[in-house]
Amino acid sequence: MNRNFTNISEYLKVSELRKNRRIIVFLICVMIATAMWFLNALSKVYTTTISFPVKFINPPENRFLADKSTARIDLEVEGQGFTLLRFKMMSYAPLSLDVSEITKNLKAVDGNYTISTRNLITTFEGKLNGELSVTNVTPEVMDIVLDRLETKTVPVVLDIKVDFETQFNLKTPIRTVPDKVKITGPTTVLEKIREVNTKVNISTKLNSDIKQEIDLIHPEKTTISPEKVTLIIQVEKYTEKELKIPIEVLHKPEKASIKLFPSELKVLFTVGLSRFESIKASDFGAYVDYNSIVNNVNILNVTLYKKPEFIQGLRFVPEKVEFLVEKN
């Protein structure tokens, strides 16, 4: 009895194996047939539409591409299935169009060129390395707007924040080399530009000179030459100095005599060591105004009307003086 079950079991295993082999052979045949059909299908010529980005480059001399955004075109192309499949699956860089070339025989209307895309079919096929034949292009026309470039010279305006260590300050005004730059761009843009600013530069606790390149802020749609300028900051140590200067009297009548008490003004300030010896009382000027005299008031305000630009921390005493008028 056991022998019969064993025989039946072995028969079933052999039968199942033969059955599986048939299935495997069948599947392999199906796969081969599918592959052959697929290869045969891809070897045929098809037509499809592929969307490409387009980038405009190389505008004519002294012309500016007003719209630098990347356009898109739809190319109806014809080619082998293998090639079409590869193009459909790949990502690609924009097709570059030479603006100088495609507009050279066209007339512009207010800087606007209308390009018939059908005239560019050969160009597009060349960009596709001749692997596909272009049968149609959408849109039928493309507009390219060119603005005329102008150049003008504008001053460089510093945007800078500095502070110094104790007893140090500027030896000369902060400046840039060059202090003016040439800016090029569309006329409509340049009309609004009066200056070019530097990018914010912060220098703290200075006690020595600085000489470094800094960037300029480019207004949109412009180029600047040079693109950077050299920032120059000269620093020196400062010390205090005191001088006495005479007080002048303005608008005094010829027949009047006036005496001031005191008749001199004491000015105190800090100045760089390089100028300490050269600065004199004659570099300052102070006055009182005779016309400001009020009855029963014998005090006049002192005005300091002249002083050197390079001094710091200026103060003077007195700010008011007494007077005595003597008429001849």
Checking if the pLDDT of 10 tops 70, the result is no
Task: Please compute Rg for the chain using Cα positions.
Answer: 44
Which has more confidence, 137 or 46?
A: 137
The mean-pLDDT minimum among 13-27, 146-160, 237-251, 297-311 falls in 13-27
Instruction: Give the end-to-end CA distance of the chain in Å, rounded to a whole number.
Output: 163
Report pLDDT digits (tens) over 73-120.
Answer: 887 877 776 666 666 666 566 778 888 888 888 777 767 788 888 888
Q: Report d(CA 96, CA 279) in Å as an integer.
A: 66
Rounded CA-CA distance 293/323 in Å is 10
Most confident of 13-17, 76-80, 272-276: 272-276
Q: Is 50 exceeded by the pLDDT of residue 5?
A: no
How far apart, in whole angstroms, are the C-alpha atoms of residue 255 and residue 113? 83
Contact 210, 177 (CB under 8 A): no
Q: For residue 133, count other CB atoms closer than 10 A to its CB.
A: 14
Taking phi over 0 as left and psi of -120 to 50 as alpha, with beta for the rest, 167 belongs to left
